[in-house]
Amino acid sequence: MNTLFEYTIRLADDSLILGHRMSEWCGHGPILEEDIALTNIALDLVGQATSFLAYAGETEGKKRDADALAFLRFDREYKNALLVEQPNGDFGMTMMRQFLFDAFRKPLFERLQHSSDKQLAAIAEKSLKETKYHLKHSSEWVIRLGDGTEESNGRIQDALNTLWRYTPDLFYADEVDQEMQQQGIAPDMAAVYADWNATVQHVFQEATIEIPSNNWKQTGGRKGLHSEHMGHILAELQYMQRAYPNMEW
Amino acid sequence: MVTEKDIWEYLEEVSDPEIPVLSIVDLGVLRAVKLDDENCHVTITPTYSGCPAMKMIEVQIIEKLQEKGLKNVTVDLVLSPAWTTDWLSESGRNKLREYGIAPPENEVDKSVLFAEPTVVPCPKCHSKNTKMVSQFGSTACKAHYTCNDCLEPFDYFKCLK
Ligand SMILES: [Zn+2]
């Protein structure tokens, strides 16, 4: 197995699939400003995915470019965490998913920008600046909704209850991570988790919402074992390339 | 005989398609120019990862330099060092203001929760009595503000460091 390819694909697919999910909001935002914000975040994520996928293609050496990797793999070959493929639901669900993810990405990129792999470091350095804006936006919404009305509090609490089980998948680490860490390429996931945990505890306290006591966990994304939603995403994401191979704008 | 300095000057004529008053030199997107024999090698960097203007900028660079008689032009995209609003030139800042976009204040929007947003003077009436409507504006690099005095809605080129 090409470990660097595998590691890079995991980073890429988190951005790609969440970017696609956020793009589904285009034209459906609750207010105009929020519609623009959600699609701006989608654009940043798709941009990050393009950088990671292009690099993954290079390390693989099979002449697959970012488009080939984005549009022409089968479901088991996508290695995103389960969290990012979960449906948008209501605005609270989307913001909770985004917050749980941004709170993970920021400490990850803070460390990855010092990676011994120069290109991954460069992509992380670039993406970190964008992620900081995303995290500020999503965490403020989680607090505003949690600490808002009875209705908004109930909705954001429901979102947390639904999504919490997918968070361990973000920190799933196997031989790929171990090898990358030994080479000084990947950061220590335990440290990333500690930062993530501090952020979510603080924000949930401000938002007056509670982490569910049910400890059921679901993992598998990094191995390509996805939830039932993945096939639907890919049907839409890949439609043009499957129907009209090699089509370009 | 064309020099690298000439090429920098030619590329002053290539503008950012999303903010046409700014050239890629003003914006700091043009990073390097290298000339050897017939070959011209240009390096650019994106403002944001997903900046949709990069492909068009690349095409415009090639067209502009071919128009000036350079035959073999290649354009490379680099991500590091990551673009920052510090690279926006002084003339670029003035052009932005005249165009109705507030240039970046030298301050990153605080990542602290619910921190007071940056005070951005209105590009029309210069009042500091403005408010941020949304951190995310018409393009990835801008936030959306409104002036409380003249009531003008305006874009703010947000600070990225
Ligand atoms: Zn004004």
What's A7's domain CATH number?
1.20.1260.10
* Section B45-65 average pLDDT: 92
Give Rg (Cα) of chain A: 18
Distance of CA A46 to the CA centre of its chain: 11
Q: Which of residues 93-112 of B touch A (CB under 8 A)?
A: 109, 111
- Which residues does A contribute to its contact with B (CB < 8 Å)? 33-34, 36-37, 40-41, 43-48, 50-51, 118-119, 121-123, 125-127, 129-130, 132-133, 135-137, 139-140, 143, 203, 206
In tens, the pLDDT along A192-229 reads 999 999 999 999 999 999 999 988 899 999 999 999 99
* Section A82-93 average pLDDT: 98
pLDDT of residue B115: 75
**Rounded Cα–Cα distance for residues B32 and A109 (Å):** 27
Out of B58, B83, B108, a domain closes at B83
Determine the residue among A129, A135, A141 to mutate to test chain B binding: the one whose Cβ has the most chain B Cβ atoms within 10 Å.
Answer: A129
pLDDT of residue A125: 95
Out of B59, B83, B107, a domain closes at B83
| Residue A190 belongs to a domain | yes
pLDDT of residue A214: 82
| Residue A233 belongs to a domain | yes
Closest CA to A138 of A91, A193, A170: A91
Q: Which domain holds residue B65?
A: 4-83
Supply the DSSP symbol for B48: S
B61: CATH: 3.30.300.130
Q: B11 and B56, same structural domain?
A: yes
Q: B127 and B106, same structural domain?
A: yes
Q: B111 and B91, same structural domain?
A: yes
How close does chain B come to A218, measured CA to CA in Å? 30
A35 confidence band (pLDDT: 50, 70, 90): very high
Q: B115 and B72, same structural domain?
A: no
Q: B35 and B99, same structural domain?
A: no
Q: B35 and B95, same structural domain?
A: no
Residue B123 Cα, ligand 1 centroid: separation in angstroms?
7
pLDDT of residue B109: 61
Could you report the predicted ipTM of this complex, rounded to two decimals? 0.85
Q: B91 and B127, same structural domain?
A: yes
**Rounded Cα–Cα distance for residues B35 and B19 (Å):** 28
Q: B126 and B79, same structural domain?
A: no
B110 confidence band (pLDDT: 50, 70, 90): low
Determine the residue among B29, B43, B48, B77 to mutate to test chain A binding: the one whose Cβ has the most chain A Cβ atoms within 10 Å.
Answer: B48
Give B83's contacts in chain A (Cβ within 8 Å): 126
Instruction: State both tokens at A246.
Output: 């090699």
Q: B130 and B153, same structural domain?
A: yes
Give A143's contacts in chain B (Cβ within 8 Å): 113-114
Give B80's contacts in chain A (Cβ within 8 Å): 118, 121-122, 125-126
How close does chain A come to B114, measured CA to CA in Å? 7
* Section B49-71 average pLDDT: 92
pLDDT of residue B52: 83
Q: B102 and B51, same structural domain?
A: no
Out of B24, B54, B83, a domain closes at B83
pLDDT of residue B98: 93
| Residue A150 belongs to a domain | yes
The tally of domains found in chain B comes to 2
Determine the residue among A34, A126, A202, A206 to mutate to test chain B binding: the one whose Cβ has the most chain B Cβ atoms within 10 Å.
Answer: A126
Inform me whether the pLDDT recorded for A249 exceeds 90.
no
Entry pTM: 0.93
Q: Give the residue on A whose Cα is nearest the Cα of B134.
A: A33
The tally of domains found in chain A comes to 1
| Residue A38 belongs to a domain | yes
Inform me whether the pLDDT recorded for A143 exceeds 80.
yes
In tens, the pLDDT along B111-129 reads 667 777 788 999 999 999 9
Q: Is there a contact between B140 and A34 if contact means CB atoms under 8 Å apart?
A: no
A169 confidence band (pLDDT: 50, 70, 90): very high
Q: B145 and B113, same structural domain?
A: yes
CA geometry: angle at B112 spanning B96 and B120, to 5°? 25
Residue B148 Cα, ligand 1 centroid: separation in angstroms?
7
Closest CA to A47 of A71, A84, A20, A25: A20
**Residue partners of A52: CB distance under 8 A and separation at least 6:** A8, A9, A11, A12, A15, A123
| Residue A35 belongs to a domain | yes
Q: Which domain holds residue A186?
A: 3-211+219-243
Give A123's contacts in chain B (Cβ within 8 Å): 49, 79
Closest CA to A126 of A49, A65, A57: A49
Q: B99 and B79, same structural domain?
A: no
